[in-house]
Amino acid sequence: MTTKNVLLNIDDRQVATITLNRTSKHNAFDDAMIAELIQAFQRVTESSARVMILTANGKHFSAGADLQWMQRMVNFSHDENIRDAELLADMLHALDTLAMPTIAKVSGGVYGGAVGLVSCCDMAIGANNSFFCLSEVKIGLIPATISPYVIAAIGARAARRYFQTAEKFDADTAFDLGLLSESVDENCVDSTTGLLVEKLLENRPQAMKASKKLVADITGRPINSALITETCERIASIRTSPEGQEGLQAFLNKIK
């Protein structure tokens, strides 16, 4: 799939790469680009991709919301603003709920809503020249639509700070906060991401999908009899699945 602003490639290993490609605008996104991203995520869902990488062409990962798009918002009614926000929310939810492992590969600036994109990915590799800014309050707005994902990534206390100060923070800080999984030299981003992809490809695809869903379903729930029963049922189901049976047998044969 190739569109004006978003590129999608799936290689022979079944690794999908989605690339932000609006370099003339520093990959700032508007409603058209958001719709293209939703389409790309849907294509990945419908494919046999085992891993998805989200990256960007150009100097910056993304400048956040496009200025011309924001200018149009000024004249929107309340209902029009709701519909506009729902488009962004749909895109973020589509990324967050992709079944396969997802990796953000980041360099340069990551502003506003783009921090939400990184937060929605399971893992994020950042160049040490990358920096982040939740800048909405500078223009009288709030990072509402991205907030569930950003707070899940960096925690409520850090979100209170960076949502209100709009200060830039660097890759090392992003790593400390949990927004980045690794902060590496800019020349090592591709190789580090490649190694992570290889580790993922060594694993059973359905087990990885089930593990990702497990985290989503279990997070925040009290540890009670209902949860304990559910987790026991999940492991029993995966043990008796074709992939589970094949994997267990292969492992047991290997250690004999």
pLDDT tens-digit readout, 88-118: 999 999 999 999 999 999 999 999 999 999 9
* The residue count for the chain: 256
Q: Are residues 160 and 238 in the same domain?
A: no
Q: Are residues 139 and 33 in the same domain?
A: yes
Last residue of a domain, one of 159, 180, 201: 201
DSSP state of 1: -
Q: Are residues 131 and 211 in the same domain?
A: no
Q: Say if 1 falls within a structural domain.
A: no
Note whether 146 and 93 are within 8 A (CB). Answer: no
Q: Are residues 115 and 136 in the same domain?
A: yes
Q: Say if 128 falls within a structural domain.
A: yes
Q: Are residues 222 and 123 in the same domain?
A: no
Mean pLDDT, range 143-168, rounded to an integer: 98
Locate tokens 């593990």: which residue? 211
Locate tokens 């990256």: which residue? 55
Q: Which of 9-18, 46-55, 64-73, 103-112 has the lowest mean pLDDT?
A: 64-73
What beta strand segments (E) does 42-117 contain? 51-56, 102-106, 109-111
- Determine what percent of the chain falls in helix, strand and coil, rounding each to the nearest 5: 55, 15, 30
Q: What global pTM score does this model have?
A: 0.93
Q: Say if 95 falls within a structural domain.
A: yes
CB atoms within 10 A of CB 229: 10
| Structure confidence by residue, pLDDT tens digits, 127-146 | 999 999 999 999 999 999 99
Structural domain count, the chain: 2
Domain limits at 235? 205-255
